[in-house]
Chains A and B, each alone.
Chain A
């Protein structure tokens, strides 16, 4: 019984490997035997940010001559573990993935390690007590993004002695970006006495959430100087509320937001957002560079931060045509 099972399993694995190879070969560019094979498992396609992330990785792989085996986990950890196992069976050179959740990766990471395949994490970290199960983690530093937002605000109001009242639209309660972006921002703001966060609520990272919460802020408090939104969508929703309250977004209320989606750059070009701190999904080139190094056996740092910019209204117009997402 056991034997039949394992034979069947092997056969299935073979078929999977064969079809995957067929797919890869079809769109490959005949890189030959020496092309690095990268297995990448994406979280899903839940937002424009994520789609841009996927596109960047696919394009960068093509440019770097790396053969990419791409798999979409559709937000399910099981799918992702399955994809990684199939990468191991196919004997790819490097595995990279954006973990759907933080924990539960120990077994599959150990399998990759014992198969001698280096692993690179992107965008999100994993929780593990084992050592050296992955080479490096390439992702945004959300705390730093919060700090950048705070830093700009402090400089912008450097000449002002008056109190600056800030309202904050938080991301989904408990999510890593929400916690970290709040922490980084508060860290900078709290060094200055005249800055105060007067209200802070969960806007769920959505436009309608941002709009509804901002409306409530505006109705209960008529002295708001600054809005700090944990992502662009909430800021865009809040702009609707600010306008319906008869105020000028960007003028009467200074608006800072994080992410850097196209719509936010448009709003910034229209003068409705004052600052966008970028959370860059275009990590493809950086990732391919890392994959090359890891494959060559070079030492890489355990934590690598994505290159990210800060954009003000002056740069918005110029940057807008280049925004891909």
Chain B
């Protein structure tokens, strides 16, 4: 089992548990049929409704790997959705593919600009990412409301609707978009040295600089990519309902995205990141919502339910917690050496770490010591 697989094992286990629980309550949960020439079923729903979150999480992964954070993605979703819908609604032929293409291009272009703005604040002006992106988080939603005039803009455009409701050989377009983005990102950062450079800067910016990596350009690019991902998510969200809601589109999705990235094993402190982990994280977060709906968890307890599962994932991912739980059972681990003196005693972590977590998890060390 590779190091990567081992890291993903715990979130995978939780996801399997969630799906199994659903299967127990709703026997038809795993059924996938074809309705109107399109795949249909709970599992498809999870991926379909999870697409916007997945897209944003992918962008967020790179930003977090660079030791940053982007709080503005929800606002960018709203701006992108508002722009696309307003353009289509104002066009002479809302149903023409050219109109839709122009609207989507404008929305994505604007999102890229917003991402670029974030990157500029963070990399060039050196404003703390959390503060820099907070500006756009607040202002962006205002901009979205300005664009829509505070109203929900409804569009009646078949080509735009097909972005969400259409299919490519029975596979929903949303899934195709998600898969294509994952593939593109993987090719970009994992088949080139880009990912390595990002990890280098995120792990130790100064060392990266001394090694000759242009951190500024890289950071700006990462925030721009994140903006485009959020813009794409905005297009998908608004195409889904055929409307743009400046107040609610993508509201709090930045928190879900950060959660998805963290569940996937990317550290908030920057450095190593995992695309597969993020995909898994986003699917878990979305499965949680679907589980609440299909199992009929009362809305009053839904948040508690979600919190408990997330807590569980975090506990399982903590090497220290796993070691503590496993300790009483021994598992053939060499007994802990008796302390020989106050100064010489190996710390608890040192005793536990080598066996329980393995040396393959260098990034998982708590706080730099």
Which residues of A line the B interface, CB within 8 A? Answer: 45-48, 50-51, 170, 173-174, 199-202, 204-208, 211-213, 215-217, 219-220, 233, 236-237, 240, 244-246, 263
A201–B293 touching, CB < 8 Å: yes
B289–A212 touching, CB < 8 Å: yes
Which residues of B line the A interface, CB within 8 A? Answer: 26, 28-29, 35-36, 38, 40-42, 45, 49, 145, 150-152, 154, 165, 237, 240-243, 245, 247-249, 289-290, 292-294, 296, 299-300, 302
Contacts of B152 in A (CB 8 A): 47-48, 207, 233, 263
Question: Given A47-B247, A199-B296, A240-B241, are A245 and B40 also a contact pair (CB < 8 Å)?
Answer: yes
A219–B42 touching, CB < 8 Å: yes
CA distance A217 to B249 in the complex (A): 22
B42–A216 touching, CB < 8 Å: yes
A245–B35 touching, CB < 8 Å: yes
Among A48, A173, A207, A236, which residue has the most Cβ atoms of chain B within 10 A? A207
CA distance A240 to B241 in the complex (A): 7
A207–B290 touching, CB < 8 Å: no
A246–B241 touching, CB < 8 Å: no
B36–A47 touching, CB < 8 Å: no
Beta-carbon nearest neighbor of A204 in chain B: B248
Question: Given A207-B241, A208-B240, A211-B241, are A244 and B38 also a contact pair (CB < 8 Å)?
Answer: yes
CA distance A164 to B278 in the complex (A): 43
Nearest-Cβ distance from residue B223 to partner chain A, whole angstroms: 25
B29–A220 touching, CB < 8 Å: yes
Contacts of A213 in B (CB 8 A): 293
CA distance A299 to B248 in the complex (A): 42
Question: Given A211-B241, A240-B241, are A200 and B299 also a contact pair (CB < 8 Å)?
Answer: yes
A220–B299 touching, CB < 8 Å: no
B249–A51 touching, CB < 8 Å: no
Among B29, B38, B154, B248, which residue has the most Cβ atoms of chain A within 10 A? B248
A220–B241 touching, CB < 8 Å: no
Find B290's partner among A216, A245, A263 (CB 8 Å cutoff).
Answer: A216
Question: Given A47-B247, A244-B38, are A173 and B299 also a contact pair (CB < 8 Å)?
Answer: yes
CA distance A207 to B237 in the complex (A): 10
Contacts of A236 in B (CB 8 A): 241, 243
B45–A207 touching, CB < 8 Å: no
Question: Given A202-B299, A220-B26, A244-B36, are A45 and B150 also a contact pair (CB < 8 Å)?
Answer: yes
CA distance A240 to B154 in the complex (A): 13
A206–B165 touching, CB < 8 Å: no
Contacts of A217 in B (CB 8 A): 293
Contacts of A199 in B (CB 8 A): 293, 296
A240–B240 touching, CB < 8 Å: yes
Nearest-Cβ distance from residue B236 to partner chain A, whole angstroms: 10
Question: Given A170-B299, A216-B42, are A208 and B151 also a contact pair (CB < 8 Å)?
Answer: no
Nearest-Cβ distance from residue B172 to partner chain A, whole angstroms: 9
B41–A219 touching, CB < 8 Å: yes
CA distance A208 to B290 in the complex (A): 13
Nearest-Cβ distance from residue A214 to partner chain B, whole angstroms: 9
CA distance A216 to B45 in the complex (A): 8
| Known contacts A47-B150, A212-B45; 6 further A-B pairs (Cβ under 8 A) | A51-B150, A174-B300, A201-B302, A211-B241, A216-B42, A240-B165
Nearest-Cβ distance from residue B58 to partner chain A, whole angstroms: 20
Find B247's partner among A46, A173, A211, A216 (CB 8 Å cutoff).
Answer: A46
A244–B165 touching, CB < 8 Å: yes
Beta-carbon nearest neighbor of B243 in chain A: A207
Contacts of A202 in B (CB 8 A): 299, 302
Question: Given A47-B150, A244-B36, are A219 and B247 also a contact pair (CB < 8 Å)?
Answer: no
Find A208's partner among B45, B145, B249, B293 (CB 8 Å cutoff).
Answer: B249
B151–A48 touching, CB < 8 Å: yes
Contacts of B289 in A (CB 8 A): 212
Nearest-Cβ distance from residue B246 to partner chain A, whole angstroms: 9
A219–B35 touching, CB < 8 Å: no
Beta-carbon nearest neighbor of A211 in chain B: B241
Question: Given A45-B150, A46-B247, are A201 and B299 also a contact pair (CB < 8 Å)?
Answer: yes
B293–A206 touching, CB < 8 Å: no
